[in-house]
Amino acid sequence: MTETSIPVRTCVGCRERVPVTELLRVVARDGILVPDPRRRLPGRGASLHPTPECLHAAVRRRAFPRALRCSAPVEAGPLRAHVLGTPSAAAPGSVPDGQRP
């Protein structure tokens, strides 16, 4: 008998294997990445640390389309807002987007 049976998933950002309880589940709906904190939405999901670092890493290496088996690019707007904790219209003058190397 095992007491702890928490499944382990790989974070699509940093590729670390961690218990699912530490990760945010993400699903794609109509080409848009949607956070699924309760892990209830149907369909294929990707797991991610809910941190800006892992989100950026995942977006940068296009890990979401690969993990979710989407052929089309996915929009990360709602997911980004969820992870960064900034509602898209609530930060006038300080938009974190636009940082391009």
Residue ranges binding Zn ion (CB under 5 A) = 11, 13-14, 49, 54
Residue corresponding to tokens 């382990």: 8
What crossing angle do the helices spanning 77-84 and 52-60 adopt, rounded to 10°?
A: 160
Minimum separation from the CB atom of position 4 to Zn ion (A): 21
DSSP string, 42-55: -S-EEEE-SSHHHH
Nearer to Zn ion, 63 or 74 (CB): 63
Nearer to Zn ion, 52 or 78 (CB): 52
Burial class of residue 72, CB neighbours in 10 A (0-12, 13-18, 19+): exposed
Nearer to Zn ion, 20 or 93 (CB): 20
Minimum separation from the CB atom of position 25 to Zn ion (A): 13
